[in-house]
Amino acid sequence: MRLANELIQWGDNEQLGNKCDPIITRLNRFFGNERLYDIFAQDPLKELDFGKWMQEGKVIILRVPNARGLGEHAVKTLVHWITLKTFMTRLLMTKKEQENGAFIIFNEPEQYESEGLTKLMGRVGTEGRKERLGSIYAFHGSVAKLKKIDREL
């Protein structure tokens, strides 16, 4: 709600040509979640440097709480963001910086799968090797749990 209230100060639907409602609805879904707002609205931490860690060959483990602790939408958003951040960081690295290969491991991805993440996982799976970025999927059961991702890969 905080962001929606700030955007409303720009004017109402009449003044903005009836275009702000869908935008506010989508942004409020993201920033209306207090935990997501606190995570994404804070100043960047220079200590969190994915590129540096990947260059150094570090193991980076990020534990995202399950949906019960954080909320389903927040979990899906965070996992998508972490995956995108990792992939985009890798794309921006020079070949020299990519000397140490990297892997992104998805543990039980059916728990946080979304349409956007599925497409991104497919892209990482097909394009990642050019950037020395591999994908590992850990399932408890069958890979068939991820029918959409299976088709992408």
Nearest to 104 by CA among 90, 83, 85, 122: 83
According to DSSP, residue 102 is labeled E
pLDDT digits (tens, 9 = 90+) for 132-145: 999 988 887 766 66
pLDDT digits (tens, 9 = 90+) for 40-59: 778 888 898 989 999 998 88
Take residue 109 and report the two structure tokens written for it: 């991805």
**In-domain check, residue 147:** yes
pLDDT digits (tens, 9 = 90+) for 58-116: 888 888 877 667 788 888 888 999 999 999 999 999 999 999 999 998 888 888 888 89
**In-domain check, residue 15:** no
Q: How many domains does the chain have?
A: 1
**In-domain check, residue 30:** no
**In-domain check, residue 2:** no
Domain that holds residue 89: 47-152
**In-domain check, residue 22:** no
**In-domain check, residue 62:** yes
Take residue 145 and report the two structure tokens written for it: 């749990």
pLDDT digits (tens, 9 = 90+) for 18-41: 666 777 777 777 667 777 777 777
**In-domain check, residue 144:** yes
**In-domain check, residue 33:** no
Take residue 105 and report the two structure tokens written for it: 């491991």
Q: For residue 53, count CB atoms less than 10 angstroms from its CB and return exposed for 0-12, middle for 13-18, buried for 19 or more.
A: middle
- Look up the pTM and report it: 0.73
